[in-house]
Copies of this chain bind each other. A is one copy, B any other.
Amino acid sequence: MITVGIDVGGTKIAGALVDESGEIITSLKVPTPADNTEELIEAVVAMVNELRAGQEIKAVGVAIAGFIDAAQSEVMHSPNLSLRNEPLKAKLEAKLGVEVFIENDANAAGWAEYRFGAGQGSQHMMMITIGTGVGGAIVANGELFRGGFGIGAELGHTNFIPEGKECGCGQHGCLEKYASGTALLEAAKELASSGSPQGARLAELQSQVGELTGTEVYQAINESDPGAMRLLHELGTNIGKAVASLAAVLDPQILVVGGGLSVAGELLLKPIREAYLQHLPARGFRPEMKIVAAALINDAGVVGAADLARRHSRER
């Protein structure tokens, strides 16, 4: 059974026809009308119609960067989109005439990794995504763990430093302020401006482009610049400490590290593994989780949404 998966992010909407083995048949991408709900809905409808042209599709999955309610019918809130208590499932079903399944985007991506990616073969998986922010997904007993109100697994908003840096969520010291791509870029800018010898290469790149972006930080890491490497190592160490604490609660068999920064591979995974082992409560008296990189970086949201729609479809 082929289904449609759509992933609505803050800047782009991605969509695809996906088969039962998670393979993408056709895919599309358009900019997100982030501040206009009706236009956003129309863009999703148009994309689904284009993808399904000429064939009968019985379920559509939509992943959204926002809080989805426990009944999975409304988008309660999205920090980067205009959706507020929006009955998205009903609206899309009325316009599309097929069953629509909505899910948080990090959950959909985690589900894709569990079904077709790095989490295959486990029954209890934790995914942490390191990109602009830090997100997460939890699979327990082979099912997505959504929490009582549908908004669990927000791993980036666990407290990492008491009374620490101010976070967009209204709190202080959230993990994502110390371990996201944004945090890495901030740290790189600071190091470049510090005048320290370790910041020399970053300062040079900064002077070439005016203001550092992720591209230059990534370039410095690729060149094995000691300053940029140290910052990445610190970020990995922070993630490792956090997942050691989370392991006391969630005790997963495997941690999948996803998001844009996961392309750094072992440079990121090694400090995560080291800090996890060093900070694991009751280490030596318990099994330890595997820590691996995600396999489906860019397509995970779309593939996960499509598979969840298939799985939950009355027609399957």
Q: Is A200 an interface residue (CB 8 A)?
A: no
Alpha-carbon gap, A285 to B171, bound state (A): 13
Given contacts A124-B148, A249-B249, contact A76 B286 (CB under 8 A): yes
Please report the C-alpha to C-alpha distance between residue A145 and residue B138 in the assembled complex, in whole angstroms. 12
Complex Cα gap A161–B173 (Å):
12
Q: Mark A272-297, 1 if CB is under 8 A from B, else 0.
A: 00000001111111110100000000
Q: Which residue of B lies closest to A242 (CB)?
A: B159
The interface centre, meaning the residue of A150, A155, A285 with most chain B CB atoms within 10 A of its CB, is A285
- Taken together as a complex, chains A and B put the C-alpha atoms of A140 and B143 apart, in Å, by 11
A284: chain B residues at CB < 8 Å are 170
Contact of A282 among B169, B245, B246 (CB under 8 A): B169
A281 near B167 with CB under 8 A, answer yes
Cα A170 to Cα B286 in complex, Å, equals 13
For A286, give its contact among B123, B149, B282 (CB under 8 Å).
B149
Distance between A191 CB and nearest chain B CB, rounded to angstroms: 22
B-side contacts of A141, CB under 8 Å: 143
Q: A170-B283, A282-B170, A285-B76 are in contact. Are A249 and B154 (CB under 8 A)?
A: yes
Closest residue on chain B to residue A285 by CB atoms: B77
Return chain B residues, CB-CB under 8 Å to A138: 249
Which of B124, B152, B249 is within 8 Å of A251, CB to CB? B152
Would B155 and A249 count as touching, CB distance under 8 A? yes
From B124, B152, B280, A147 is in contact (CB under 8 Å) with B124
Looking at the assembled complex, report how far the CB atom of A246 sits from the nearest CB atom of chain B, in whole angstroms.
7
Complex interface residues of chain A between 166 and 199 (CB less than 8 A to chain B)? 167, 169-171, 174
Asked if A67 is at the interface (CB within 8 A of a chain B CB), the reply is: yes
Question: Within the assembled complex, what's the spacing in Å between the Cα atoms of A253 and B283?
Answer: 31
Over the window 74-93 of chain A, the binary record of Cβ atoms lying under 8 Å from chain B Cβ atoms (1 yes, 0 no) is: 00110000000000000000
- Does chain B have a CB within 8 A of A151? yes
The listed residue (B149, B155, B171, B286) touching A279 by CB distance below 8 A is B171
Contact present for B251 and A149 (CB under 8 Å):
yes
Chain B residues within an 8 Å CB radius of A249: 136, 138, 152-155, 158, 246, 249-250
| Minimum C-beta distance from A288 to chain B (A) | 9
Contact A155 B253, beta carbon cutoff 8 Å:
no
Q: Is A201 an interface residue (CB 8 A)?
A: no
- B140 to A145, Cβ gap below 8 A? yes
Interface centre among A136, A252, A282, by most chain B C-beta atoms within 10 angstroms, is A282
**Please, how many angstroms separate the alpha-carbon atoms of A250 and B138 in the complex?**
10
Instruction: Sample 20 A-B pairs with CB under 8 A, ordered by A number.
Output: A122-B148, A124-B147, A125-B148, A138-B249, A140-B147, A146-B251, A147-B252, A148-B252, A149-B253, A150-B251, A151-B251, A152-B248, A152-B251, A154-B249, A155-B249, A158-B246, A159-B241, A159-B279, A170-B281, A174-B281
